[in-house]
Amino acid sequence: MSALRWLGGVHAVEETLRAKPQDVREVWIEHEAKHPAIAGIIRWARESGVKVQFMARKELDRAVSGGRHQGVAVKIVGQAAEAAEGFPAYLEALSDEEKKGLVLVALDQIQDPHNLGAIARSAVNLGASGLIVPERRSSPVSAVAIQSSAGAIQKIKLFRVVNLAQALERAKKAGFWVYGADASGSPCWQAVLNTPLILVVGSEGYGIRQLVRTLCDELLSIPQSAGGVESLNASCAASVLLYEIARQKAASPR
């Protein structure tokens, strides 16, 4: 039986109700909650047949273990956010037309749930269709990750793979280009980014692993001012590169 857990925050709750209402078991609303989105959350929950209860703030605090909830929380099936599609089956089902302009993001051992959530949010907003995440040494899609993504991670395909290098090799055989985020790479705005593509973002401390690096068709760097800090963190780098990918797609659709 799947474990149940609590998720708080207006945007995270909204997107969960929109994307996966079947996974929501209960909605708690703080008695005096004033957020303008509350009425819509109550309406979506009731239309989906989800039980709504009005509770004291301390009860919501306890439910989300002291996390930020903005007066609303949902009880969800523990595996709801972790439901992952099979990557090989996904690749095989893609038609040539569906591959045009397709962008996926592979996370090479991203272990910080805040980074996972932030990358998912940028991926959704900048047109990526899915995240590829190794099963080991990677952040789970926890309540923190969902909240950090403002619920966006509920709206994007998630592929959990046993071996990221093998997944990239399979994707390359299916016609994907693979680009890696790395400070030693070519300036991203000088690169011609072909699609379908996978953008690989490395771990917070060590970057992309060597084996994964060898599978990249090109490494991409982000030019920075001389007076800046050492480097951008993983989620910021992903956002910049996803923006450049989206910019090139818009300038030359293919």
DSSP labels, 17-44: HHH-GGGEEEEEEETT---TTHHHHHHH
Q: And the tokens for 199?
A: 């953008």
In the block, tokens 């989206």 appear at: 246
For residues 131 and 157, the answer to whether their CB atoms sit within 8 Å is yes
The verdict on residue 82 lying in a domain is: no
Which domain-ending residue is among 34, 52, 77? 77
pLDDT tens for the chain, 254 residues long, are: 455 677 788 887 887 887 777 788 888 888 888 888 888 888 888 888 888 889 888 888 888 876 778 888 888 875 444 444 588 888 988 899 999 999 999 999 888 888 888 999 999 999 999 999 988 888 777 777 777 777 777 778 889 888 999 999 999 999 999 999 998 899 999 999 999 999 999 887 788 999 999 999 999 999 887 665 666 788 899 999 999 999 999 987 65
Query: Can the peptide bond before residue 140 be classed as cis, meaning omega within 30 degrees of 0?
Result: no
What SS3 class is residue 74?
Answer: strand
Using CA atoms, how far apart are residues 120 and 126, in angstroms rounded to an integer? Answer: 10
pLDDT on residue 81: 44
Residue 128: which CATH number?
Answer: 3.40.1280.10
Using CA atoms, how far apart are residues 37 and 151, in angstroms rounded to an integer? Answer: 14
Which domain-ending residue is among 77, 97, 127? 77
Question: Which range of residues forms the domain containing residue 166?
Answer: 87-251
How many structural domains are present in the chain? 2
Q: Rounded to 5 degrees, what angle do the CA atoms 217, 223, 226 make?
A: 145
Using CA atoms, how far apart are residues 188 and 119, in angstroms rounded to an integer? Answer: 18
Q: And the tokens for 167?
A: 């997944």
The verdict on residue 69 lying in a domain is: yes
Question: pTM of this prediction?
Answer: 0.71
